[in-house]
Amino acid sequence: MPLITVKTSKVSDIDKDSLIFFNTTSITNSQCNGFECTGIYNVILQDLDGSLTNQPTEIIPNNIGVISQSCDFNEAIDGYICSSDNFGVLTFKSSGSQAAYPAQISSSENDHSFLNSISPLNLCSVNQYTSIIEFGNTYNLSFEESFSPDTLNFTLSGDASASTAAFIIKYEDIRIVSVKNLITQERIDPYYTIVDEKPVLQLGDSCGANLIDLEQNYIEFNIRSDSQCKLSISKVDSLVGYIRYDIPPEEFCKSEGPSLFVEKLSAVLDASSSQIRINSIKKGSTIVDFTVLGQNQGTQELEQKLETLREATAQGKISVLGAPVLDYSYKTINANEDTKPTAVESIEAGGGHSVGFYFGMVLGPLILVLLLGIVVYRWDRTHRKNKVRVAAAEIKMEQITTQTPTKQVIKTSPIQQANNFMIGPDRELIDNPLTLQTLPTESDVGDSAMETPRTGRSETRDNVNLIKRKLFQDLNTVLENNEEDDHNENKENNNQ
């Protein structure tokens, strides 16, 4: 018996330190499937009224992974004496032909504040695990070798006022896992996610309250220290899938879409509504992930329901709130087979793609080609305009320069012409010795020469300066027109 309670006891002629002793050497590993036996480290002696130890206490073995700050080590008993009454004993059993492996119970916060490794005790083909736990906490329950039992039956013992704890277990595919109260024989549906609003399990919730996480494939459930709370967590042969409706999820949920969905599937499949479970409701438009739990062993019954559901979907009989089915995916899962979850199931052939889907598949590439053609056309048009403007500027430059009395005219681009005509005041022509002769400076002529009317080379220099100013004016005009045209074209493109 992992939990021993003492009340109104009388002790005489016995030393206090000799009342209790935890003998951890009395059990051999052969009784624990070859693993180290851990049952002796997971028992509790509760002195409810203090008649045994002079005050209400809980006495636990030397299991350092489960003690709290309220516990003090006592070397004489090789254990801890705790002043609180917040400890309980969790017992769970796995049945069937599966091999059993050690389990580990740890704090869900991963801070290692609680860590207890336990081995199964084989009792008549039933593997039993026992662990001390502290009420009011959430724990991870995992197994070595990625062992995932088909069925686990849980009970929790203790005498605390807040005698509730929560446990998290991971599975290969959480959609086929079901929770059942063994006392009432009622299946307990999980809280499910509605439009990105993830539910939260509270420790104050009822016995067996649970939620599932489809992304991380775990189930979280509550268990209470109550004779009417004995839970079974089991994998069940199931039909699983999703249906995507053409309706906003907010409207679907507000108009009682979830309950109507369960009623619709129950009628089509001739199944009890207790067998149909919604796992989540997500956006895009409204995606309902569901499970139809089988009642008998084997998937033959579910295979028939699968065909019925496919036919009903193709005939539009699964429509809810008048919203058509956009696409869907269904399949059956055998609980005894290893299954790997998929984030998104593939669309089945003939799975109800809408006309809009195929229309978009054809029209999309055509729109991309059209947009690309418009971009190429705009670029070519701008390029041609720029070439025309440059050619016009070159012709005009040629006309201007041919009117200048120079020895030789070199036809170049407007920018090169500008560079060639750069001169300094009263200095020689720069960079174009072929165009004009060297101009005289003040040192080459007398004052009288400088005062005479400007003729010859002086007149030529004035003409060159005039040409230079005219050239840059024309170039600035071309550039300004170019910028204005580009601005108008960009504005036209934005309007389109």
Residue 451 covered by a domain: yes
Domain final residue pick, 170, 188, 205 = 170
24 and 124 in one domain?
yes
Q: Which residue has the tokens 């004995």?
A: 230
Residue 230 covered by a domain: no
**Which token pair is 439?**
């101009």
pLDDT at 459: 59
What is the average pLDDT across 180-203?
86
What is the value of pTM for the model shown? Answer: 0.65
pLDDT at 475: 66
pLDDT at 21: 81
Residue 416 covered by a domain: yes
Q: For residue range 87-121, list pLDDT tens digits in order.
A: 899 999 987 656 678 889 998 876 667 888 888 87
At residue 332, does pLDDT exceed 60? yes
At residue 314, does pLDDT exceed 80? yes
Interatomic CA distance for residues 33 and 99, integer angstroms: 9
39 and 166 in one domain?
yes
pLDDT at 456: 52
- Look at residues 117, 129, 62 and name the one whose alpha carbon lies nearest to residue 90: 129
SS3 432: coil
396 and 490 in one domain?
yes
Interatomic CA distance for residues 279 and 166, integer angstroms: 20
pLDDT at 435: 42
247 and 162 in one domain?
no
At residue 425, does pLDDT exceed 50? no
Residue 113 covered by a domain: yes
Question: pLDDT above 70 covers what percent of the chain?
Answer: 65
Q: Band the pLDDT of 197: cuts 50, 70, 90.
A: confident
What's the chain's average pLDDT? 76
7 and 129 in one domain?
yes
349 and 430 in one domain?
no
Interatomic CA distance for residues 28 and 113, integer angstroms: 29
CA atoms within 13 A on the CB side of 481: 13
Residue 214 covered by a domain: no
Interatomic CA distance for residues 205 and 203, integer angstroms: 5
Q: For residue range 431-483, list pLDDT tens digits in order.
A: 444 444 444 444 444 444 444 444 455 555 666 666 667 666 766 676 666 66
Residue 195 covered by a domain: no
Q: Band the pLDDT of 52: cuts 50, 70, 90.
A: confident
Q: Band the pLDDT of 7: cuts 50, 70, 90.
A: confident
Neighbours of 333 (CB within 10 A): 22
Domain final residue pick, 170, 186, 207 = 170
Structural domains in the chain (count): 3
At residue 395, does pLDDT exceed 80? no
423 and 298 in one domain?
no
Of residues 403 and 273, the one with the higher pLDDT is 273
Residue 127 identity: N
Q: Band the pLDDT of 323: cuts 50, 70, 90.
A: very high
pLDDT at 108: 81
pLDDT at 218: 93
pLDDT at 152: 92
At residue 349, does pLDDT exceed 80? no
- Look at residues 279, 51, 258 and name the one whose alpha carbon lies nearest to residue 176: 279
Per the structure, the complete domain to which residue 443 belongs is given by 382-495
Domain final residue pick, 170, 189, 211 = 170
Of residues 326 and 296, the one with the higher pLDDT is 326
What is the average pLDDT across 189-212?
85
At residue 74, does pLDDT exceed 90? no
Residue 194 covered by a domain: no
Q: For residue range 236-290, list pLDDT tens digits in order.
A: 999 999 999 999 999 999 899 999 999 999 999 998 888 899 999 988 889 999 9
Does the CA dihedral 126-132-137-143 come out positive or negative? negative
Interatomic CA distance for residues 486 and 329, integer angstroms: 53
400 and 344 in one domain?
no
Q: Band the pLDDT of 340: cuts 50, 70, 90.
A: very low
Cβ-contact 432, 411 below 8 angstroms: no
Residue 366 covered by a domain: no
404 and 453 in one domain?
yes
